[in-house]
Structure formats: C-alpha cells, structure tokens
Structure 1
C-alpha cells in the first residue's frame, strides 16, 4: 500500500471480529514502532503486549468497573473487548534523564528542568503512531485510547509494570468488524488545512 493511502485510511476502529492477529504481523508492527525517532537515541519506550484471551480480559477487568462487576458493557466496550490484542506503550523518563547526563550530551545532572517538553512521552507517542500506520498497512484496525487515571495502579499491578515506566495509553488491534460505537469524525468536520497551517507568521 502506498504511504499516502496508509495515511488516508488510518482511522480509529472501535469494533473487531474475534479472528486472531497473525503473530508474525504483530511482531512486524512492534518492530516498526522501534523505528520511531527519539531524543539522543534514548529509546525510552517499552511495549506491553497482551495477546491471549486471559490477558486481554484482565486488562478490561483492571480498567472497566462494569467488566469486573460482571455487568453488561456499553456499546463502545462491547466492540472493543473483541480485539484479540492490546498493546500498552510505556515511556521511561529515567532513560532520558540518564542519557542526557552522559558525557556526549553535556549535562552534568539529571534535572528534569532541562526538558521544557516531556520528550519521553512524545517519542513514545511517535512510536505509537507507527503502530497505527503499520496496522493499516497490514489490513487490520486499531484504536489508541487513554487508560483511566484511576486504573493506572491496577494496570501496573496486574501486569507488573515497573515504576520506571509510565503507560501513555493503550492500543487495541484486530480485524475490523461492522458496527460498533461511532467516533467523533461522524459528528465533527475535519478542520480545513488553511485554518491550521500558518506560513511565516501566525
């Protein structure tokens, strides 16, 4: 598929079939994620892969009270829970603070004040975008979404996420199904290019 077609086709998929994802395809998706740029080549990311029914179920039990309680989930959750794979991208601030305290970077301390923007999150987000694009290129569907703040501790506990890494969200991956909850693009127009691009001056 041409790159421009991958970009055009990329959308958030909220409903999946129960068909499994080919393990080789999943490995390719994860490999491509590691080709993202990172400040100082710090590569302060990690990817928690949940690709068994038991692990996927544990994720939803940790993040959705209705699932844990055995209640019927809403339309969004019903479609999402069919995804056979969940990838949780995690960022490591420590990796960046350590890297930039090395001799070739010139900082002599690990002071977070050196970073006006949290590149550890930004670089992991770029890796996540490569996941989404590769998914499309492989004829699959995906959705990036946030982990509820109140569920962070439960996710860490359920899957042993170390304190040196922070989940930045989650990505469901699978074969798209018809139906499911509608996304915002069905209710909102894409902002015209002329309204978001400023040439030479705002």
Structure 2
C-alpha cells in the first residue's frame, strides 16, 4: 500500500472480529516499527506490554474499567484479539540528558518544556496504528483512565518507573464497527490550522 493511502485510511476501529487473531509476524512488525519512532537524545524510553491471551485481555479490561456493567463501546472494544500498552519512562530521558554529550550535569525535569518521554512513546503508538492499516487490520488508540492506572500497574506488575500513555487495540474490524459520531464535526482544513510565518 502506498504511504499516502495508509495515512488516508488510518482511523480508529472500535469493533473487532474475535475469531481472527493477529498473525504473529504482523505483531512483530508492529513492534519493530514502533521502536523506529524518534526519541529525544535517542533515549528510547519506551516499553510495550503485549496482551494476547484472553486471560490477559480480560485482566486489562477489569483493571482499567472495573467490574460493573459494560457499555456497548467496551463490549465492542474488548473483542480485540491484541492489546499493546505503550509505556513511557521519564527516568530514561532524565538520565540520558545528564550524560556528558548532552551538556547537562543533573536530571532537572524543569528543563523539559513538554514531557518528551510521553510524546515519543505516542509517536511509537502512531507507527503501530499506521502499520496495522498497512497490514489490512484495524486499530484504535485510547487512554487508560487516571484513576485506574494503579489497578493496571498492580494487575501486570508494571513498575512506577513506567507510565501507560494509552493502549493500542489491534485486530480485523468486526461487523459492528462504525464511524465515530465525532466525525460529523468534519476534518479541519489545512487553511484552518496552518499559520505561515505568523499566527
């Protein structure tokens, strides 16, 4: 598929065929492409928790949503045969920029105008989304609710050094997949969002 087609076709898929697993070689390509994302100072402060088994996925949904009744969105999303949780490590960046070639002598977080550990991990997630499209699969990036992060950590033994920046669900689109009602708002044009030379 041409790159321009991959970009045009990329959308968030919210329902999956539970009977069609993601082929192992596709999972490997998703992960290999993710680690090609840019990272400040080549810090590469990311990690990826891969959840493939029904038990692992069920544990994820229980940890991140609780045991209450499931709404239709959750029912459709929970059919995804693969979940990949991209995690960022702030310490990896603070340590890297305290090395001699970077010119800083300490790990002062105040020097960072934005949390590049999260930005770079988000870019890795985007590469997974694009790879899924190129492989003929659907994918969706969604957040882990802040109040459920501790339960997520406990369920999977994730250390405090790593923070989930979200989750990527992957699989073949299901019969109930439909476009988000949010899309009715329309995509903003280049002219609306680009400021050339001055705001």
- What's the TM-score bracket when you normalise by the shorter of the two chains? over 0.9
Query: Which residue does the alignment assign to 1:86?
Result: 83
1:158-177 aligned at under 5 Å gives the runs 158-177=155-174
Query: Which residue does the alignment assign to 1:53?
Result: 54
Match of 1:190 among 177, 184, 187: 187
Match of 1:99 among 96, 100, 107: 96
Question: Aligned with 1:104: secondary structure?
Answer: helix
Q: TM-score scaled to structure 1, two decimals? A: 0.95
Q: Is the 8 A contact 1:76 1:180 kept in 2?
A: no
Query: Which residue does the alignment assign to 2:71?
Result: 74
Question: Aligned with 1:49: secondary structure?
Answer: strand
Per the TM alignment, residue 184 of structure 1 is displaced from its structure 2 partner at its CA by 4.2
Are 1:27 and 2:24 matched, yes or no?
no
CA change 1:38–1:144 in 2 (3 A) is: same
Name which of structure 1's ranges 133-142 and 73-82 shifts more when overlaid on structure 2: 73-82
Equivalents in 2 of 1:131, 1:118: separation in Å? 21
Structure 2 gap segments, 5+ residues each: none
Are 1:13 and 2:10 matched, yes or no?
no
Equivalents in 1 of 2:132, 2:8: separation in Å? 13
Q: Is the 8 A contact 1:30 1:131 kept in 2?
A: yes
Per the TM alignment, residue 186 of structure 1 is displaced from its structure 2 partner at its CA by 3.4
**Deviation per residue, 1:32-70 (Å, 9 max, x gap):** 0000010110000000000111000000111122xx24x
Query: Which residue does the alignment assign to 1:63?
Result: 64
Per the TM alignment, residue 192 of structure 1 is displaced from its structure 2 partner at its CA by 1.4
Name which of structure 1's ranges 177-186 and 15-24 shifts more when overlaid on structure 2: 177-186
Equivalents in 2 of 1:99, 1:124: separation in Å? 16
Match of 1:150 among 133, 142, 147: 147
Query: Which residue does the alignment assign to 1:38?
Result: 39
Per the TM alignment, residue 187 of structure 1 is displaced from its structure 2 partner at its CA by 2.4
**Deviation per residue, 1:126-153 (Å, 9 max, x gap):** 1110000000000000110010111100
Q: TM-score scaled to structure 2, two decimals? A: 0.96
Are 1:124 and 2:121 matched, yes or no?
yes
User: Aligned pairs, how many?
Assistant: 198
